[in-house]
Amino acid sequence: MLTIGLSAVLIVTLIILFACISENINLKMEVEELKRQNEIQRFKYSSIYREYVRLLMESGTLKSTTPDIKEAVHYAMVKAHPDNGGKQEDFVKFRKLYERMNNEYR
């Protein structure tokens, strides 16, 4: 009788454990899907924003001396730094652009 009781407890424990694992897997899948959707939205936003800035610059409304652009280039340079997980070549491009902007618009 004790063996049957332990077996039943073991089975119930395994069922609960399996349910928790299944729920955890579902949550992980949901998180991954949300991350993917977030990346898509960030890409769409950045593409639209780049186009917006390009149009403003072409129309003469936005000058490259605007502090916001320098700040954005600096931010991109920091994000592209290899110590922050960025690529060396991207960092170098942003650094050169930032230095050029600083030299041209002092």
Domain that holds residue 87: 63-106
CB 73 within 8 A of CB 93: no
87 three-state secondary structure? coil
Measured CA to CA, the distance from residue 73 to residue 70 in angstroms comes to: 5
pLDDT by 10s per residue, the chain, length 106: 445 566 777 777 888 887 777 777 777 888 888 888 888 888 777 778 778 777 777 776 666 556 777 888 888 888 889 898 888 888 898 888 888 877 765 5
Query: Are residue 57 and residue 87 in the same domain, yes or no?
Result: no
Query: Are residue 74 and residue 99 in the same domain, yes or no?
Result: yes
In the chain, the number of structural domains is: 2
Query: Are residue 37 and residue 85 in the same domain, yes or no?
Result: no
Radius of gyration of the chain (CA): 26
For the question of whether the overall pTM of this predicted structure is more than 0.75, the answer is no
